[in-house]
């Protein structure tokens, strides 16, 4: 009999051991699953937040690159215009001296002066009858003499002269390979004839392209950016043509008869540049530390819960203390997570737009709840900022038409007024001592409240009128709404004071407080006279001053 009993006890012990092992394995498996869930959430948060931050950094880099591009384009435009101005001056000189037979004598001296005024002038020429007869300096440019500009076989040379004849302005050809070596720009302009018939001929100046580019100093481009400069016809002027495939920023350099385009982009691409930014690396490090902290807290939380469950199984007497500790932990965790939850809520609207149509109706409802909460918080912060900043916003020193401020307010409230079926009637609104922004905001608050707190049994009717009283312009906003209990007439102007629940009438409870502060800032006051069930009359008292003109 003893042996079976021993075997039974041993069997029970084995079963208890197996159950303990199963419970332990289940707890470990649950912990692993929960920890994997936390890791997956963190990975999703990193993927989304890194994308947002990358786009932010790309915008910053593109802004900085745009400033660089604008500066380079401005410098290049100035350098080109300075040289084109010399061509126009040469045209005027030749036009004057061509008629008095003094051109051959005066041309070398004048051309030398032009040549010394800017860097990189290769030669200066004059072509009566469009055949080059004068060139300076002559040394090295002998082949230019006798060249018929209209019959020049080189691509684009004759066409440039023809454009100059049509436009009667400077035309630019190039960059072209120069006989003297290097790349250059050729600028030509037609010289008119005094009798108004066929032009006298043309003048031209050849500029060394490298001198122009050196003057612009393209070495100012940061090493992580590249540039490409090309004509509107696609001819490469300078830089790296591969930049045009990197989603570049484009600046236009306008010439008299066409334009060039300056493109600037990140050499490795904007996204790669952003991900290599030190701030992005710092963001990754910060997110890693935060992720490790969250993982550790999650592990501690899950482990702690499992430990407590194990202790409950072994020592029921300690349940109260263990429960109390868990509640304290949960409270501390909830308090500490309020700030990151607010951050998550602020991005919920972007998530809603990004995932619209991809989630089921219940999930979209959850996101809308987050968005609505974030919207209410945004409205509250907006009103708080408006309230706090009121003293810092300067006052206008001119009068405004109250009717214009009212019309602006009605435009803002147009949808709410239409949905409520309300009617707004305004009469005799004068020029008052205020500024348009503040008066418009006061009208928005008062008329918006009249629409919101309308009577359920009659159509809302709001009347806006004016009267003069003891040195004040008094603007009254009268409604036929639910009215205000006399006990609360002063309290409604206090910050966050609400007489109705948010479910009945949404809002931040700061509108009348803001309106009162704005009126006081204008040197006036605001009062209310109301009868419950009949309606209310809000009176805005503004100091009356002689008319000072429209603001």
- With respect to residue 196, please indicate whether it lies within any of the assigned structural domains: yes
- With respect to residue 352, please indicate whether it lies within any of the assigned structural domains: no
Instruction: Verify that 323 and 199 share a domain, yes or no.
Output: no
Partners of residue 432 on adjacent β-strands: 400
Instruction: Verify that 238 and 309 share a domain, yes or no.
Output: no
- With respect to residue 449, please indicate whether it lies within any of the assigned structural domains: yes
C-alpha dist (Å) from residue 26 to 18, 22, 169, 477? 12, 6, 88, 69
Instruction: Verify that 271 and 309 share a domain, yes or no.
Output: no
Sheet of 183-191: strands edge to edge?
Answer: 134-136, 121-128, 201-208, 183-191, 171-177
For 489-538, the DSSP string reads: TTGGGSTT--SS-TTTS-S-S-HHHHHHHHHHHTT-EEEEEEETTTEEEE
- Give the residue from 226, 221, 228 showing the smallest Cα distance to 261: 228
Spatial distance between the Cα atoms of 294 and 37, rounded to a whole number of angstroms: 12
Residue 84's domain comprises: 27-276
CATH number at residue 530: 3.30.565.10
Instruction: Verify that 137 and 199 share a domain, yes or no.
Output: yes
Task: List average pLDDT for each run of 10 residues in the chain, which is 551 residues long.
Answer: 50 66 74 87 91 92 92 92 91 84 85 90 91 89 88 88 90 84 89 80 92 89 92 88 92 90 92 89 91 88 76 66 46 43 61 68 69 58 58 69 86 84 84 83 84 79 87 86 71 57 52 80 83 84 67 43
Instruction: Verify that 35 and 166 share a domain, yes or no.
Output: yes
Q: Which helix (H) or strand (E) holds 465?
A: strand 461-469
Instruction: Verify that 166 and 257 share a domain, yes or no.
Output: yes
Reported residue count of the chain is 551
- With respect to residue 548, please indicate whether it lies within any of the assigned structural domains: no
**CB of 514 closer than 8 Å to CB of 445:** yes
Q: Which helix (H) or strand (E) holds 174?
A: strand 171-177
- With respect to residue 343, please indicate whether it lies within any of the assigned structural domains: no
Instruction: Verify that 270 and 298 share a domain, yes or no.
Output: no
- Give the residue from 205, 184, 259 showing the smallest Cα distance to 87: 205
- With respect to residue 372, please indicate whether it lies within any of the assigned structural domains: no
Instruction: Verify that 253 and 401 share a domain, yes or no.
Output: no
How many domains is the chain partitioned into structurally?
3
CATH number at residue 72: 3.30.450.20
Kindly report the CA angle at 327 between 321 and 330, in degrees rounded to 5? 145
At residue 452, the pLDDT reads 79
At residue 483, the pLDDT reads 77
- With respect to residue 5, please indicate whether it lies within any of the assigned structural domains: no
Instruction: Verify that 514 and 422 share a domain, yes or no.
Output: yes
Instruction: Verify that 331 and 234 share a domain, yes or no.
Output: no
- With respect to residue 523, please indicate whether it lies within any of the assigned structural domains: yes
Instruction: Verify that 399 and 425 share a domain, yes or no.
Output: yes
- Give the residue from 71, 58, 69, 64 showing the smallest Cα distance to 227: 69
In the three-class reduction of DSSP (H, G, I as helix; E, B as strand; rest coil), residue 278 is classed as: helix
For 294-354, the DSSP string reads: HHHHHHHHHHHHHHHHHHHHH-GGGHHHHHHHHHHHHHHHHHHTHHHHHHHHHHHHHHHHH
Instruction: Verify that 272 and 298 share a domain, yes or no.
Output: no
**CB of 141 closer than 8 Å to CB of 123:** yes
In the three-class reduction of DSSP (H, G, I as helix; E, B as strand; rest coil), residue 179 is classed as: coil
């Amino acid at each position: 009999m003893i042996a079976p009993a021993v075997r039974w006890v041993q069997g029970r012990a084995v079963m208890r051991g197996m159950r303990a092992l199963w419970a332990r394995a289940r707890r470990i498996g649950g912990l692993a699953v929960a920890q994997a869930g936390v890791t997956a959430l963190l990975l999703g948060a990193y993927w989304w937040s890194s994308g947002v931050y990358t786009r932010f950094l790309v915008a910053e880099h593109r802004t900085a690159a745009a400033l660089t591009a604008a500066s380079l384009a401005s410098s290049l435009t100035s350098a080109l215009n300075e040289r084109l101005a010399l061509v126009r001056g040469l045209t005027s000189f030749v036009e004057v001296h061509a008629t008095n037979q003094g051109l051959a004598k005066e041309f070398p001296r004048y051309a030398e002066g032009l040549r010394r005024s800017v860097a990189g002038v290769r030669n200066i020429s004059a072509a009566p009858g469009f055949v080059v007869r004068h060139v300076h300096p002559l040394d090295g440019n002998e082949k230019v003499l006798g060249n018929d500009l209209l019959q020049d076989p080189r691509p684009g040379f004759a066409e440039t002269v023809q454009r100059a004849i049509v436009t009667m302005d400077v035309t630019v050809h190039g960059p072209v390979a120069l006989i003297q070596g290097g790349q250059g720009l050729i600028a030509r302009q037609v010289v008119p004839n005094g009798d108004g018939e066929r032009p006298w001929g043309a003048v031209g100046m050849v500029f060394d392209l490298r001198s122009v580019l050196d003057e612009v100093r393209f070495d100012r481009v940061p090493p992580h950016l590249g540039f490409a400069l090309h004509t509107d016809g696609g001819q490469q002027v300078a830089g790296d043509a591969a930049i045009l495939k990197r989603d570049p920023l484009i600046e236009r350099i306008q010439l008299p008869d066409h334009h060039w385009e300056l493109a600037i982009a990140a050499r490795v691409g904007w996204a790669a540049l952003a991900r290599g930014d030190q701030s992005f690396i710092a963001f990754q490090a910060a997110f890693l530390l935060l992720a490790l902290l969250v993982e550790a807290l999650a592990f501690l939380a899950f482990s702690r819960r499992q430990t407590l469950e194990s202790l409950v199984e072994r020592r029921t007497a300690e349940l109260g203390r263990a429960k109390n500790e868990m509640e304290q932990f949960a409270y501390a965790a909830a308090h500490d997570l309020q700030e990151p939850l607010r951050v998550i809520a602020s991005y919920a609207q972007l998530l809603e737009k990004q995932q619209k149509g991809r989630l089921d109706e219940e999930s979209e409802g959850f996101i809308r709840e987050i968005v609505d909460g974030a919207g209410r918080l945004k409205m509250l912060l907006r009103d708080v900022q408006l309230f706090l900043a009121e003293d810092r916003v300067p006052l206008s020193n001119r009068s405004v038409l109250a009717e214009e401020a009212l019309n602006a307010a009605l435009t803002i409230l147009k949808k709410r007024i239409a949905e409520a079926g309300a009617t707004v009637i305004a009469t005799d609104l004068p020029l008052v001592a205020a500024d348009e922004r503040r008066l418009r905001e006061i009208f928005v608050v008062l008329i918006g409240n009249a629409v919101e707190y309308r009577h359920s049994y009659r159509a809302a009717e709001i009347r806006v009128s004016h009267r003069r009283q003891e040195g004040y312009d008094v603007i009254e906003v009268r409604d036929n709404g639910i009215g205000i209990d006399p006990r609360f007439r002063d309290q409604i102007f206090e910050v966050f004071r609400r007489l109705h629940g948010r479910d009945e009438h949404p809002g931040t409870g700061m509108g009348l407080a803001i309106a009162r502060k704005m009126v006081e800032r204008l040197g006036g006051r605001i009062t209310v006279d109301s009868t419950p069930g009949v309606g209310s009359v809000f009176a805005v008292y503004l100091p009356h001053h002689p008319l000072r003109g429209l603001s």
